[in-house]
Structure 1
Amino acid sequence: MTDTQYAPLTAALVRTLTDKLYEKRKAAALDIEKQVRELLQANHLSQLEKLLLVLRDLTTAQNAHARKGGLIGLAAAAIALGKSTSAYTSHLIEPVLTCFNDPDPRVRYYACEVSLYNIVKICRSSALSHFNELFDTLWRLSADTDLNVRSGAELLDRLLKDIVLATRTFEFSVLMSLVRDRIYAQNSSNRKFVVSWLSALLTAPEVSVLTYLPEVLDGLFQMLDDGQPGVRDATETVLGQFLERMGQQKGGDVVRSASDS
C-alpha cells in the first residue's frame, strides 16, 4: 500500500479508513471530508475526481471493511461537496448501488443507512437523475433477509418520497410506470412497498393519480387477499384514498358546472 496508489489520499489514511473498527473508519471519513472541501475550494477538480475514484474502487475491494470504508468515505465526500454535489451525483451514487448486491448484510446496511441516505440527503433533487435505480434498489431491499437492512431501507425510502413530492419538475409518469410493473408482486414486503408509494402520491393534490387507477386497480384488489394483515390494511387505506380523490374530483366538477351555468 503506497501513497501513489491512492493519491490524492495517503496510504495511512486509507489504512485507517478500511480498519475493522468503526471509530477509526469514522475518523478517517472526517479527514476525507476536510480534504474534499479543501480541493473544492482550491478548484483542484481533477484531484477531487481522482479521490472519488479511489473511494469507488474501495467499494469493490475483497475485504468487507475496505468496502465499508469506501462507503463511508463517499458519504463524507458528499457532505463536503454540499451544494456542489449535483456535478458529482454519478460518482457518489453509482458505486453505492452496486454494494446492495453484497452477500454481507453489514455491507448492505452500511451502503443504505451510513452511505446512500446521507448522499441522497445532500444531493436532494439531483439524486432523482438515478430515480429508477434507487426505486428498484429500495424495492429489492424491502424484502431483504436482514432486519437492519430493511430498517435502513425504510429510512431512505421515506427520504426519497419527501424529495420526489417536493420536486415540481419530477415526472410522475416515470414513477407510475415502475409501480405498474410491480403491481402484481407476490411478496408481501414488496407489495407493501408499492402500496406505500401510491399512498404517498395520493397525499399530493397536484398529482393526477386517478389517471393511473385502471392500471393498478386489479393488482390492488389481489393484494386484499394477502396473508399479511399489514398489507391488507395498507391496501384498504389506499383504495379509500382513491375513493376520496374521486369524490373530490366529482365535487369539483359539480362546482365548475354550477359556475358555468
Structure 2
Amino acid sequence: SLSVSSTKLIECSTNSFSPESVRLVDGAGLCSGRVEVKSNQSWASVCEADFDRQDAEVVCRDVGCGAPAALQGGLYGEGEGQTWDKEFQCKGNESLLLDCDTSDRENNTCLPGNAVGLTCSEPDDVRLVEGGSRCAGGVEWYDQGEWRIVGADWNKENVAAVVCRQLGCGSTVSVPPGNTTRGIGVFCSGSESSLRECSRSYYLRPGLTVICSGNNKIHKMAKSRWTLGGTSRSNNGSDAKW
C-alpha cells in the first residue's frame, strides 16, 4: 500500500483577475464594445484616462481580434457596474491583459461619459491566394501558427459565401473546381460572418477556390480612421499616433 510520510501545504498567490479577465460589451460584435475587466467576481468599466494605445493592443489580442482600430470614451455607454480603480501600464506586446502591470489611479474620479470604448479589427485569419487579387483564389485559414488549405465539397457554395463576406469582398461570383490539393474540411450554413463560426473537421476535403465580386487589392483596414478622444485622423503612417 502507498503511505504518505508528509503533507506539504502550498499557498498560491492569487490575482484580482479571473482567467476571463477582459471583455468588450454592447458593441457591434465580438471585436468592439465597452472595455470591462473582472475584479472580485464582478465586471468593471475602464476609465478612458487609464487606458492608452498599448493597452488597447493587448486587449484586442486577448479577446482574439486584430489590431485596435478606434478608441473613444463613452462610445459604447457607461455600463451599470463599478469603475476599475487602476491604471493599466501595458507595454503592448503582452498576450493577455492580466500580464500587464497596473498602478493606482492618479485621480480618484472618472467623469461620466469616459468609460473607454474600443473597436478592434477583425482578425486576418483567412486569405485567398494565387488568384490575382485579395478577393479571388484558393482559400487558406491561419490555424495553430500556420496557413492551412481550406477544403469543402457538397457545401462549398456556403463556405464561399462566408469567405467573401469575411474578407469584405462582396458576394460569390463562382466556385471553380479546386486544385489537386486537399485541406481542412469546413462546413458552413452560409449565414455566418466568418469561418470561425463554422464547424470544421480535420478530415481532408478538396481544396476550395473562390472568386468574389469585389476586386479590391488593398486591405480594407488600410483606409480605416483612427479615433481617440472624439478626434479622428487618417491611418497614413506617421499621423496615426496616439
Q: As a proportion of its length, which structure holds more strand?
A: 2
Q: When you count helix as a share of all residues, which structure comes out higher?
A: 1
Q: Return the structure number with greater relative CO, CA threshold 8 A, min gap 6.
A: 2
TM-score, normalised to structure 2, is: 0.24
TM-score, length-normalised on structure 1?
A: 0.22
